[in-house]
Structure 1
């Protein structure tokens, strides 16, 4: 699976939300997209997942424009104000919702068992906002990958709540090794000390 953002731009009521951006991510690999904090990251996440129609440019999946396929096969993970969990609920509640979205058993015992299996049972009753950031992004990404039909994942700026680039890259690479196409968005400042290839919001090829 190959997802391509080709000069994709998104306009808002008061100007550009996302300047023309080109990037691509494909099965079995991780693509990093960096950019400054702000709504551009959210707009890019939603555009490449078929959930937002760009003002200009195109998003292709395997060479074709097919927003329906993108919506079915691309999961957006922890996108601000879109798919992020409620910060005030317990981790158990958030995981229960994610298990249900993955069409897996989601009762209390199932949540507890799943968290135990993934080394996170100790945070079961912890509010989402207080869960260690590296744990949060790992758990949410692993469950998003279990949703039926998902073949690609877009992780939107887990560094905004403190996740380290190393932890985010680790889970992204783990899923890429399982054949998923993974787009990891991080803020520019986060990547200053990390030497990895990346695309950049507001740049075209």
Structure 2
């Protein structure tokens, strides 16, 4: 289970991710609503162990004695999926090229017989020559989640803004629900979204839910001005995100 406890990430003029708490159990899809792409990406990075929060904690299972060990355990168990500026499909890559690049990052024992064999086994041979960034939203989320699961150590998927590719929840929600419900893998799935789809009654949280009223309102009751995005970090690169 993923546990997020009063996690906060600072921006330049305020909190990029205000204090937030939630749990994402194995066997379930958890939706977390956050305003702004920078906030969603920052939360996805922290929830997958790829960014150390400024306050609070993220852990997979029981926290270790050391914060570094806790983050290492979380990072090893998780994969961040389709994060803008981190590991989203690059415009110059075909689907075959993307698969080859991602498989090359795995230990050799998990790479199989190569990208063409992987595409056939996972039923993506029909789009092998297409540009990866041009895939329809439902095929995109299918491909990228399947690639993330090529690493057998992954027990947590953190999907960054799947709703940015389509305003139709049916283009991404059923796939993530099916992955979480598959008892064979034992996954926890988290999707950080701009808006929780209407009618969703399962696991959900809103960024800032652990903050005090003073964290979300000014003295006159008005909402605070938008924060600026946090500076880029050395963690924000494709290979690190897929490690």
- TM-score normalised to structure 2 length: 0.74
* 2:184 paired with 1:180: no
Q: Which residue of 2 aligns with 1:204?
A: 210
Match of 1:70 in 2: 74
- Unpaired runs of 5+ residues, structure 1, are none
Once structures 1 and 2 are overlaid, which stretch shifts more, 18-27 or 195-204?
195-204
Equivalent-residue separation in structure 2 for 1:79 and 1:23 (angstroms): 20
Equivalent residue, structure 2, for 1:20: 19
Name the CA distance, whole Å, in 2 between partners of 1:163 and 1:86.
Answer: 22
Number of matched residues?
A: 200
Give structure 2 stretches of 5+ with no counterpart: 65-69, 212-243
Higher alpha-carbon Rg: 2
Q: How many Å apart are 1:141 and its aligned residue?
A: 0.5
Per the normalisation by structure 1, the TM-score is 0.87
Distance in 2 between residues matched to 1:146 and 1:105, nearest whole Å: 8
Q: Is 2:157 aligned against 1:153?
A: yes
The secondary structure found in structure 1 opposite 2:151 is coil
Check the 8 A contact 1:21/1:204 in 2, yes or no. yes
1:193 partner SS: coil
> Alpha-carbon deviation of 1:90?
0.9
Q: Deviations over 1:14-44 (max 9, x none)?
A: 3221111111112222111122232111111
Q: CA RMSD in A?
A: 2.1
Which structure has greater strand proportion? 1
In the other structure, the counterpart of 1:123 is 127
